[in-house]
Amino acid sequence: MGPKKYVVLTGYEAVKEALVTQADDFSERGQTQVSENFSKGGNGIIFGKGESWKVMRRFTLSTLRDFGMGKKTIEDQIIEESQRLVEVFQSHKGKPFDPKIIINSAVSNIICSIVFGDRFDYSDAQFLNLQSVLNKNVSLIVSPKTQEARNSNKYFHEENMAATVGNLFAAGTETTSTTLRWGLLFMMKYPHIQDKVQEEIERVIGRERPPQAEDRKSMPYMDAVLHEIQRVGNVVPMNLLHETTGDTTFRGYRIPKGTPVIPLLSSVLSDKTQWETPHQFNPNHFLDAQGKFVKRDAFMPFSAGRRVCLGETLAKMELFLFFTMLLQKFHFRPPQEVSPEQLDLTPTPGITSSPQPFQLCALSH
Q: What is the pLDDT of residues 167-183, one digit of tens each?
A: 887 777 889 999 999 99
Interatomic CA distance for residues 216 and 3, integer angstroms: 49
Between strands 330-333 and 260-263, the pairing is unpaired
Q: How far is CA 241 from the centre of its chain?
A: 17
Interatomic CA distance for residues 307 and 284, integer angstroms: 29
What pLDDT is attached to residue 41?
Answer: 67
Write the pLDDT tens digit of every residue in 3-57. Answer: 889 999 999 999 999 999 999 999 988 877 666 666 676 788 888 888 888 888 8
Stretch 134-140: mean pLDDT, rounded? 54
Interatomic CA distance for residues 263 and 28, integer angstroms: 12
Write the pLDDT tens digit of every residue in 268-290. Answer: 999 999 999 999 999 999 999 99
Interatomic CA distance for residues 120 and 201, integer angstroms: 29
What pLDDT is attached to residue 11?
Answer: 97
Terminal CA-CA length for the chain: 52
Interatomic CA distance for residues 8 and 16, integer angstroms: 13
Interatomic CA distance for residues 316 and 220, integer angstroms: 14
Strand partners, 249: 254
Write the pLDDT tens digit of every residue in 190-223. Answer: 999 999 999 999 999 999 999 999 999 999 999 9
DSSP state of 11: S
With residues binned 3-state (H G I as helix, E B as strand, rest as coil), the percentages for the chain, rounded to 5, are: 50, 10, 40
User: Which of 56, 71, 110, 138 is closest to 313 using CA atoms?
Assistant: 71
What pLDDT is attached to residue 89?
Answer: 98
What pLDDT is attached to residue 268?
Answer: 97
In the chain, where are the structural domains located?
7-364
Give the E-state strand segments of 36-105 in sequence order: none
The answer to whether residues 87 and 80 touch, using CB atoms and an 8 Å cutoff, is: no
Interatomic CA distance for residues 181 and 309, integer angstroms: 20
Q: Is the pLDDT of residue 99 over 50?
A: yes
Annotation: CATH topology of 7-364: Cytochrome p450 (1.10.630)
Q: How many residues does the chain have?
A: 365
Return the number of other C-beta atoms located less than 10 Å from residue 151's C-beta.
8
Residue type, 270: S
How many CA atoms lie within 13 Å of 265's alpha carbon, on the beta-carbon side? 25
Return the number of other C-beta atoms located less than 10 Å from residue 92's C-beta.
15
Interatomic CA distance for residues 220 and 216, integer angstroms: 7
